[in-house]
Structure 1
Amino acid sequence: MMRNGFILLTFCAALLGCAVAPAQERRPIAWDGLGQDPNKSPRRLHTAKPRATNPAPAASDPNQERQRVLDALRPYSEAWWAVHDEIEAENDRKLGTKLVICPRCVQPRQDEDVTGSTR
Structure 2
Amino acid sequence: MVRHGFILLTFCTALLGCAVAPAQERRSIAWDGFGQDPNKISKLPVAKRRAAPPAPAASDPNQERERVLGTLRPYSEAWWAVYDEIEAERDKQLGTKLVICPRCVQPRQDEEVTGSIR
What's the TM-score, normalizing by structure 2?
0.48
- Which of 1 and 2 has greater Rg? 1
RCO higher in structure (CA 8 A, sep ≥6): 2
